[in-house]
Amino acid sequence: MSQTDLSRRNLLTLSVLVIASRSAPTVLSRRLLPGPFPRLVRMPLPTSAADIQAQGGDTQNAHQFRAPFPVSHAGLSWHGAPDADIETRYAGPNKKWSQWEPFWLSADMSVDTNLTNSKDTSSSRFFSALLRTEQALEFQVRVLSGLVSRMEISLIDAQSNSPSPAIPKGDALPAPSIITRAMWKADESLRAKNPSHAPIERFILHHTATSNKDNNPEATVRAIYAYHTETREWSDIGYNFLIDAKGHVYEGRWARDYKKEELHDGEDQTHQGVIGAHAKNHNTGSCGIALLGNFEKAVPSAAGIAALNTLLAWKNAVHKLNPRSIHKNLPRIMGHKDVGSTLCPGKRFFALLPAIRKETEKIILASQLENPGYRVILRSGKVQNFGTAATTTLATHTPQDNPPHSSASTPIVSAMESATGYWLAAKNGEVLAFDDAKFYGSMGGKHLNKPITAIAPTPTNKGYWLAAQDGGIFAFGDARLHKARTADHHTLSRIITMRASIGGRGYYLLSSEGEIHTFGDAKFHGSLTPPTDENRDDPAVALVLLLPQSVSSLLDSHRKNDTFR
Ligand SMILES: [Zn+2]
């Protein structure tokens, strides 16, 4: 969707002219009762002083026309100046008038309609984006500037009392959950039967320029569908997908009938995408995705952008497209304004495009990562390899305090991966480093009050800590000792495991009683404490740390420079 420049420029034409009509409006098309939502009527509006007086209004005072039903969304079309300032306000059952709101020009176009930039626009018909009007029963419309004629308002009731759909679970990563047309209650009689398809080459992002405060986005999707088919007379809703502020993805233009378990992907059986109506001259070969709302001044919601990224990742992955690549001189993922003179998808949304491309790529790469194998470590230090983890070499090092052994002299108690190798720690403090994991020292051959129970590498893998059962910590390489953050560290006992904090300047210790002890920058979130007889029977055995954006850092190391621009 779009508008042209809506600043209050050159008020050269009409003084404030209030369109009024006391008499019942002429209804061009009527589909009021009964049947599925939405209801939509189109009514012509007078545009000249003579028209208004002829219909019983006057040019000085506001007169409103009544709607035939509570109106949830309204759209306007007109001839003349595409940048005309036309406003409306409305009142619902409580009779309170809303603020004046402008009708935003929509630049979302079907393949067979034309919004020209030439001087001869007088014969062209222009359409606004839809306005959310709550439950409006009365309207006023005024033209602030711009010569317009043959105005027509579309009044839509897309509200429904039936409950909103349950959101289905998406398929395998990265396919998102999609609210199907049946779920958002699309009236399938409104659309044409035989859509056209073409291979998907790119993704064009839009905003709908509708309200950002929308308590019923499903109704707005229905309203857009009715507006596109009945007022704009397109064969179906223009967009291929729509996304609301909570991150719900709605199936847009109908592509085919789906089998029950099939994902509604907007494509035919050969994975050609259905051709939508959203970006003039670029509908064929593109997938049009619209975020509900107006993002010229407001920033899209995080949930909306996250859903968009997931949707884009899924589509790019299916079609094997690089989301950061250029194709036929245009980005694979772009905003409507990249191919048309429009503000769509809004300044704040458009500014997010580089981040969206990057995040889309990350999701795709993350979904392609897999563990190539694993090793099972036996108490004796023997290693069983599975998958491609077939070979293992003891690191070649000659530290004075711990000459290399093929196995430790006491039982192995802990193992940790490095990026491309691993360490084993033995009860007596010996450390064995394998493959590319480096040896940074050990407690082998030194006096220990209590046996070693855990080894924890630093995030850089350039060092590690050893933890003893009594909470004694020994640091090697770039590992540092940190101050306890939990008060009762003097009671440390039965420590069974240790993990570095994500920041790397601290660590967690876990006791078999389930007590968590935090050191340095390790954030404390709670603990099983004090120990009771109950959890002595059910000891803690492992600590799993939750990671923020865990794939991001991983992927940076997997990225190949020559693949991306
Ligand atoms: Zn657009």
For residues 206-239, b (16+ Cβ closer than 10 Å) or e, as one string? bbbbbbbebebbbbbbbbbbbbbbbbbebbbbbb
Average pLDDT over residues 416-433: 90
- Tell me, what's the pLDDT at 297? 95
CA of 67 to the centre of ligand 1 (A): 29
DSSP 489: G
Q: What percent of the chain has pLDDT over 70?
A: 75
- Tell me, what's the pLDDT at 80? 87
Q: What is the CA radius of gyration of the chain?
A: 32
- Tell me, what's the pLDDT at 231? 94
- Tell me, what's the pLDDT at 275? 96
Distance CA 80, CA 28 (A): 21
Q: Is 417 left (phi over 0), alpha (psi -120 to 50) or beta?
A: beta
CA of 451 to the centre of ligand 1 (A): 66
**One-letter amino acid of 232:** R
Distance CA 262, CA 264 (A): 6
- Tell me, what's the pLDDT at 37? 64
CA of 124 to the centre of ligand 1 (A): 18
CA of 319 to the centre of ligand 1 (A): 23
Average pLDDT over residues 243-252: 96
- Tell me, what's the pLDDT at 565? 29
Distance CA 81, CA 121 (A): 7
CA of 23 to the centre of ligand 1 (A): 36
CA of 343 to the centre of ligand 1 (A): 8
CA of 354 to the centre of ligand 1 (A): 18
Domains of the chain with bracketed CATH: 17-157 (2.60.120), 178-368 (3.40.80.10), 373-554 (no CATH)
Distance CA 408, CA 426 (A): 6
Residues with CB under 5 A from ligand 1 (ion): 1, 108, 206, 336, 344
CA of 336 to the centre of ligand 1 (A): 5
- Tell me, what's the pLDDT at 168? 42
Select from 168, 171, 151, 122 the least CA-distant residue to 42.
Answer: 151
Q: How many CA atoms lie within 13 A of 123 on its CB side?
A: 4
For residue 396, pLDDT over 60 is answered with no
- Tell me, what's the pLDDT at 1? 46
CA of 342 to the centre of ligand 1 (A): 7
Q: Provide the pLDDT confidence category of residue 521 given band limits of 50, 70 and 90.
A: confident
5-60: pLDDT as tens digits: 333 333 333 333 334 333 344 444 444 444 456 788 998 887 665 555 445 444 44
For residue 479, pLDDT over 80 is answered with yes
Average pLDDT over residues 232-242: 96
- Tell me, what's the pLDDT at 549? 47
Select from 295, 260, 255, 257 the least CA-distant residue to 272.
Answer: 255
Distance CA 93, CA 135 (A): 7
95-137: pLDDT as tens digits: 899 999 999 888 777 543 444 333 334 458 899 999 999 889 9
The separation between CA 269 and the C-alpha centre of its own chain, rounded to angstroms, equals: 26
pTM above 0.75, yes or no: no
Six token digits for residue 356:
């969206």
User: If you search the block for the tokens 């209804």, which residue do you land on?
Assistant: 27
Distance CA 370, CA 342 (A): 43
Distance CA 272, CA 497 (A): 53
Average pLDDT over residues 139-161: 86
CA of 273 to the centre of ligand 1 (A): 18
Q: Provide the pLDDT confidence category of residue 440 given band limits of 50, 70 and 90.
A: very high
**E strands of 2-64, at which residues?**
17-19, 29-31, 39-45
CA of 217 to the centre of ligand 1 (A): 18
For residue 211, pLDDT over 60 is answered with yes
- Tell me, what's the pLDDT at 534? 57
- Tell me, what's the pLDDT at 52? 52
CA of 238 to the centre of ligand 1 (A): 10
CA of 335 to the centre of ligand 1 (A): 8
For residue 181, pLDDT over 50 is answered with yes
Least confident of 183-192, 239-248, 361-370: 361-370
For residue 234, pLDDT over 70 is answered with yes
- Tell me, what's the pLDDT at 223? 96
Name the burial class of residue 504, with classes exposed (0-12), middle (13-18) and buried (19+) by CB atoms within 10 angstroms of its CB: middle
Average pLDDT over residues 450-476: 94
CA of 143 to the centre of ligand 1 (A): 24
Distance CA 82, CA 67 (A): 26
Distance CA 246, CA 223 (A): 18
Q: What percent of the chain has pLDDT over 90?
A: 44
Distance CA 209, CA 302 (A): 18
CA of 83 to the centre of ligand 1 (A): 16
CA of 108 to the centre of ligand 1 (A): 5
342-388: pLDDT as tens digits: 899 999 999 999 999 999 998 888 777 666 667 777 777 777 777 76
CA of 207 to the centre of ligand 1 (A): 6
76-85: pLDDT as tens digits: 999 888 888 8
- Tell me, what's the pLDDT at 179? 95
CA of 19 to the centre of ligand 1 (A): 29
Taking the CA atoms of residue 332, residue 333, residue 337 and residue 340 in that order, the dihedral angle to the nearest 10 degrees is 30
- For the chain, the average pLDDT equals 79
For residue 548, pLDDT over 80 is answered with no
